[in-house]
Amino acid sequence: MAYDYEKSIRPGKLPHIWCPGCGHGIVMKGLIRAMDTCGLEKNNTAIVSGIGCASRLPGYMDFNTLHTAHGRAAAFATGIKMVKPEMTVICCGGDGDGTAIGGNHFIHACRRNIDMTYVIMNNYIYGMTGGQFSPCTPTGMKASTTPYGNPDPIFDISKLAIGAGATFVARTTSFHATQIDKLIAEGIKHKGMSVIEVLDDCPTSYGRRNKFRSVVDMMKRLKEVAVPVAAAAKMTDEQLEGKVLTGVLFKEERAEYTDQYAKLIARVQGA
């Protein structure tokens, strides 16, 4: 029997705004399956986003949903989680939203190890505003503001998250659709800051400008660059050149922020 996505979608809110071939829809379906696997209760779950094509995701979802300002999802979500630690809090958004304008909130949420799951849709471009380069646009590639090729080096989002202190970090691509829900589900179950980076594609604002003839070409590229961490362990540096590691990249147990704050309250009130 086909999987029933409808039960998680708000009645009457589809069709979505995404272009044909956009990867964000694949990620949303993965998120729905993951939330379902975890048995999340709708009333007790909040989905928080910033601004951008990816950040339109919460509006379609039948949960408590908060579409904030550009880059601010993690900070809004922190307020919710502090007040209601019993709620499951999920953030989502684009690479520009999360690592450029929102980079500061992102790294500090990682540092605090606050119990949230941040799904970051990395399409290496500012899709919504028409294809300006983001901190994740590969060097040399074309964006509307890099007509001569991008001179900037990139952020590796997963490495950034690990370096900043996130305690569950995983990566996959929109080609590996069934891995998306597995990794997000694992992130939701993990207590602490979980970051799931999903490489996906923006055919409209990135693909066209960079001579990808079709969405299929873009998907093929995702398939080719992805290397599972286990396989990578057996590969040489040369073989790994230009590849992207996928799967669970980092996991550790560390004191969670709202737990620590609850203990602080108990200590103060007990004293």
Partner 1 sequence: MAKKVALLQGNSACALGAIYAGCKFFGGYPITPSTEVAEVMSEELPKVGGKFIQMEDEIGAMASVIGASLAGSKSLTATSGPGVSLKQELIGYACIAEVPCVIINVMRGGPSTGMPTGPGQSDVMQARWGTHGDHAAIAVCPESCQEIFTETVRAFNLAEKYRMPVQVLYDEIVGHMRERIVFPEPGELEIIDRAAPTCSPEEYKPYDAKSDTDVPPLAVFGSEYRFHVTGLNKAADGFPTTKANLVAFEERRQIAKVECPEARADIESNEEYLTEDAEVVIFAYGSSARSARYAVNKMRAEGIKAGLFRPITIWPFPEKRVAELGKQVNSMVVVEMNLGQMIFEVERIVKNDCKLAGVFRVDGDPINPGEIMAKVKEVL
Ligand X SMILES: Cc1ncc(C[n+]2csc(CCOP(=O)(O)OP(=O)(O)O)c2C)c(N)n1
Nearer to ligand SF4, 126 or 168 (CB): 126
Tokens 């950040």 — which residue? 55
Binder of ligand X out of 27, 34, 61, 70 (CB under 6 A): 70
Q: How far is the CB of 54 from ligand SF4 (least distance, A)?
A: 7
Q: Which of 23, 30, 58, 94 binds ligand X (CB under 6 A)?
A: 94
> Does 259 engage in binding with partner 1 (CB under 8 A)?
no
Instruction: Tell me whether residue 30 or residue 127 sits nearer to ligand X (CB atom).
Output: 127
Options 79-87, 92-100, 190-198, 221-229: segment touching ligand X (CB under 6 A): 92-100
- Cβ proximity to ligand SF4: between 134 and 204 the closer is 204
Binding flag, residue 131, ligand X (CB under 6 A): no
Is the CB of 38 or the CB of 219 nearer to partner 1?
Answer: 38
Residue 93 contacts ligand SF4 per CB under 6 A: no
What token pair was written down for 135? 């901190």
| Cβ at position 112, least distance to partner 1 in Å | 9
Binding residues for ligand X, rule: CB under 6 A, are 51-54, 70, 93-97, 123, 125-129, 134, 202
Which residues of this chain interact with partner 1, rule CB under 8 A? 10, 13, 42-44, 46, 48, 51, 58-59, 62-69, 72, 75-80, 82-84, 86-87, 104-105, 107-108, 261, 264-265, 268-269
